[in-house]
Amino acid sequence: MRNTATNLTSVERLGRFSGTVFSIMCLLLLAGSACAQSTVDTSWAVLRAGFVDKAVGDRAAAVRLLGLLENNPKAAEFALRALADQKSEVRTAAAQALGNMKAKSALPQLRELAKTEEDPAAIMACARALIALGDPLGYNVYYAVLTGERKAGGDLLDAQKKMLSDPKKMAQFGFEQGIGFVPFGGIAYGAFKVVTKDDTSPVRAAAADILAQDPDPKSGIALVTAASDQSWVVRAAALAAISQREDPSLLPRVEPKLKDEKEVVRYAAAAAIIHLYDVKAGNSRAGR
């Protein structure tokens, strides 16, 4: 009987110990979840500051980087609002973001903007977004560039006709079609060179964009290193590429970039952090 009592007491002690360990683990998990949520909230605050920035370029960059946040209703909502911005650069960024995030809910607004927009960059951004969302209406814009008329019938706006007959504007189209990395698809090459003050950073930024799809872990390490590059152009492109790789293990290396001296880099870091936490939670294309 004593042995039985002793055994029962041991079992009880083991049960109590296990319960204590379980409680501690729960507390640690809750603390980790709260910490992650705090970081995400801070990242949204950084992006919100960008959305209302008086500098058009910074505002456009923050909006364009929303395109990294696929399947994120809040990001789609902000991008839809930006379609009504007074500045065409921001409208262009919003259309690009909505296409990149595959926001099919934006189709009505994108269709309307493609019909009424007068800025060439914004028109082309709408066309690309529509095509990315599976809407053949986007091809109408390319048809209009070739013929001067809308494929589905109905004439172009006078301002659109003038734009399509302007060789400088058409040259701008060519440049925009060749730039694929975030967040510089909506500015002219001359302005881009003035901003970067060098010829190598655009090439390296484009290389970072390509490496986003490279499964080799060495490329991930290279992108993390590039996120601390002297050129803010390369830093921003590297962070965008890290987001696209969807590797949450890189989060600790991205989070410090929320304090980068350059606004665009901070926006890229914020968008990357939000997306990587989505991936970690299973709310991404990787988790479907």
The full set of domain ranges for the chain reads 39-287
Considering only residues 284 and 175, tell me which one the structure prediction assigns the higher pLDDT: 284
Answer yes or no: is pLDDT of 252 > 90.
yes
What's the rounded Cα separation, in Å, for the pair 78 and 69? 11
Among candidate residues 57, 88, 65, the one with its CA nearest the CA of residue 169: 88
- CA torsion sign for 259, 261, 263, 268 is negative
- pLDDT tens readout for residues 148-163: 566 555 555 566 666 6
Answer yes or no: is pLDDT of 288 > 50.
no
Q: Of 3-7, 160-164, 279-283, where does the model show the most confidence?
A: 279-283
Q: Long-range contacts of range 73-78, CB-CB < 8 Å, 24 or more positions apart?
A: 74/44, 75/101, 75/274, 76/101, 76/103, 76/105, 76/106, 78/47, 78/51
Answer yes or no: is pLDDT of 210 > 60.
yes
Q: What pLDDT is recorded for position 114?
A: 84
Share of the chain above pLDDT 90, in %: 38
Q: What pLDDT is recorded for position 204?
A: 72
- pLDDT tens readout for residues 77-117: 999 999 999 998 999 999 999 999 999 999 999 999 988 88
CB atoms within 10 A of CB 74: 12
Q: What pLDDT is recorded for position 278?
A: 94
- pLDDT tens readout for residues 21-64: 556 666 556 555 667 778 888 999 999 999 999 999 999 999 99
Burial degree of 82 (CB within 10 A; 0-12, 13-18, 19+): buried
